[in-house]
Amino acid sequence: MNPTQLKCLVVFAVFAVIGFGPLSPTCLMGMYIVIARPGWFFNLLGNLYERQPPLQNRVSPDSKKQTRRTRIKCFLSLLGLFIVDIAPIPVTALIAFPVILNRPLWFVRTVASIYDKDVQKQ
């Protein structure tokens, strides 16, 4: 486990505790990332996937249309999770734990598509 994984796990553990309230900080942060695409998140992803094959070996660039579709689908999914998170259990933060621990390929591809990044140029 690398240091970035450990930090992310701590942050999402705090979000899980805070998520017992009426708002889900995990969903709000996710929606912000999908809309604003801040550079710090893409850098965080690179650090999270440290000690694995480089990002450029795992993703390929998407078209602008595909990027837009991915952003819309991710936003709507997060909006649905935001509504579900009103229930007593903070679902979204709990979903983040296996993603942080397993670092699946689909997550890297989705983020690269959201950011419309040609990761091979990174």
Asked if residue 94 belongs to a domain, the reply is yes
Residue pair 93/19 in contact by the 8 Å Cβ criterion: yes
Judge whether residue 56 has pLDDT over 60: no
Q: Is 37 left (phi over 0), alpha (psi -120 to 50) or beta?
A: left
Give me the domain span that covers residue 98: 3-116
Q: What sign for the dihedral angle of Cα 39, 42, 46, 48?
A: positive
The count of structural domains within the chain is 1
At a CB cut-off of 8 Å and minimum separation 6, what does 13 contact?
Answer: 93
Quick one: pLDDT at residue 122?
43
Judge whether residue 57 has pLDDT over 70: no
Judge whether residue 1 has pLDDT over 60: yes
Which residue in this structure is represented by tokens 């942080």?
100
pLDDT digits (tens, 9 = 90+) for 32-46: 999 999 989 988 988
- Report percent pLDDT > 90 for the chain: 34
pLDDT, average across residues 87-104: 86
Asked if residue 122 belongs to a domain, the reply is no
- Report percent pLDDT > 70 for the chain: 85
